Structure 1
Amino acid sequence: MGTARTRLPGITLRDVAPTDADAVMRLLADVNPGDPDAFEDVRPNLSLPQEGPLSHFRNLMVVALSDAGEILGVLIGGVPLWLFSHIGVDPVLAHRLAERIATITAVAVLPQQRGRGIGAELVRHSVRRFTRAGYGLLTLNCFPELESYYQGLGFTIMDDLNVSLGPLNPVQQQWGDTRVAARALDRYTALVDVPGLSSPVVSGILPNTSLPRGTYFDGERLWP
């Protein structure tokens, strides 16, 4: 299990090990005091074997460590679950998209360690890992107070996520309590502004899904 250096003195990153489980769960609970059990579904993943293409197959779980080995922060990411419940995405397509679209579900840093840039280092590391693993888009649900933070890390903030699944055939995913932050990771994927839509459309995430030039939305459907 290798480690990755950061630009922060005395801070390294490494993939989560099973022995980290209790510390990671305490950290996730500490940063979410209103609902300390919100991330209990993460616990089974912490014991998964380490294997590619990410840290734990299609999950990315990384901790930030001090020189003394104390866990100061954690990032959890992986497959967007909405892909498998969206009525516009059939199961075969969902599995294809799950290899191209990733989401960060949690970034947590010890309260006394915040402001040092540990969370930003974890996010930048995840961008590199997802990119190397062949993903085209990285997303996360973003609360208003963090929008400028994620914009500074290269993300675009949108009201909803529109994904082109072929010429003039998009699907849309919305979250009621947050906006979405998205970042394209490769040269095939782009966030395209479409006249008539308030949020960009993810173009080129799969072969033959790039939007034609001049596409616009008339209030009901896309047109070339």
Structure 2
Amino acid sequence: MGKTRTRLPGVNLRDVAATDTDAVMRLLADVNPEDPHAFEGVRPNLSLPQEGPLSHYRSLMVVAESNEGKTLGVLLAGAPLWLFGHPSIDMPLAHLLAERTATVTAVAVDPKQRGRGIGAALVQHSVRRFTRAGYGLLTLNCFPELENYYRGLGFTVMDAWNMSLGPLNVVGHRWGDTRVAARLLDRYTTFIDVPGLTSPVVSGILPNTRMARGAYFDGEQFRV
């Protein structure tokens, strides 16, 4: 994908190319001084060829750069890996869900460039790209100090990710140190409040997976 202009003076977005690898890795290390090698595992992905439906098949890797070509920020997103290890989700179903749900794994902005709206521009760009690619839900892990920030970008912040796989079949995932921020991307996918659960249920992500009307959780199973 070519450059996408933003409303920010002198800031453009484009898909990551192999030549961006060193700049992106330096930026990811700079914004994670407590663990500069935390994202070392993504290095091989940055050299993958660009192909649809996103930037690199089912992954989205985008850089924000200045008119002079300096890397100002980066966003990395792709399939939620926890789907492939969940005991209630077999491998074929995990692959189907990975074509409808995505998660942002990193948003990093050069510390000297923060406060300009670059991070928001990257997130909003990812919302548009995943929507156009036919996804129904975009999520990210959210620390408490950023909850209002992501709410301002249209995300709902929840304690856990609960997802309906049928009228009374819900799978969930929870992170110990963060909450999950989720953004609906199409008219088929909705949030349903279910009595007995503290977080809403994502309903309709796949055909025939809407939560039953009047369903509630009694502490052990879902009932109507």
Please classify the TM superposition score into its range, dividing by the shorter chain length.
over 0.9
Instruction: Supply the AA of the counterpart residue of 1:16.
Output: V
Identity across matched positions, percent: 75
1:147-162 correspondence to structure 2 within 5 Å: 147-162=147-162
Instruction: Supply the AA of the counterpart residue of 1:15.
Output: D
- Note the residue ranges of structure 1 that are not aligned, 5 or more in a row: none
Instruction: Give the drift of 1:222.
Output: 1.4
1:78-117 correspondence to structure 2 within 5 Å: 78-117=78-117
Alignment-derived partner of residue 31 in structure 1: 31
Alignment-derived partner of residue 16 in structure 1: 16
- Note the residue ranges of structure 2 that are not aligned, 5 or more in a row: none
CA distance in 2 between counterparts of 1:7 and 1:222 reads 47
SS in 2 for 1:55: coil
Instruction: Give the drift of 1:54.
Output: 0.3
Instruction: Give the drift of 1:16.
Output: 0.2
Instruction: Give the drift of 1:24.
Output: 0.1
Structure 1 length normalisation: TM-score?
A: 0.99
CA distance in 1 between counterparts of 2:171 and 2:131 reads 23
Alignment-derived partner of residue 218 in structure 1: 218
CA distance in 1 between counterparts of 2:139 and 2:116 reads 23
> What do residues 166-212 of structure 1 show as CA deviations (whole Å, max 9, x unaligned)?
11101010111111111110000011111111000000000000112
Instruction: Supply the AA of the counterpart residue of 2:61.
Output: M
Q: CA RMSD in A?
A: 0.7
Which shifted more, 189-198 or 13-22?
189-198
Aligned residues: 224
CA distance in 2 between counterparts of 1:150 and 1:221 reads 32
1:114-129 correspondence to structure 2 within 5 Å: 114-129=114-129
Residue 44 in structure 1 maps to residue 44 in structure 2 = yes
Structure 2 length normalisation: TM-score?
A: 0.99
CA distance in 1 between counterparts of 2:192 and 2:120 reads 26
Give structure 1 regions of 4+ aligned residues with deviation exceeding 6 angstroms.
none
Instruction: Supply the AA of the counterpart residue of 2:132.
Output: R
1:50-199 correspondence to structure 2 within 5 Å: 50-199=50-199
SS in 1 for 2:166: coil
> What do residues 113-167 of structure 1 show as CA deviations (whole Å, max 9, x unaligned)?
0000000000000000000001101010101110000000011111110000011
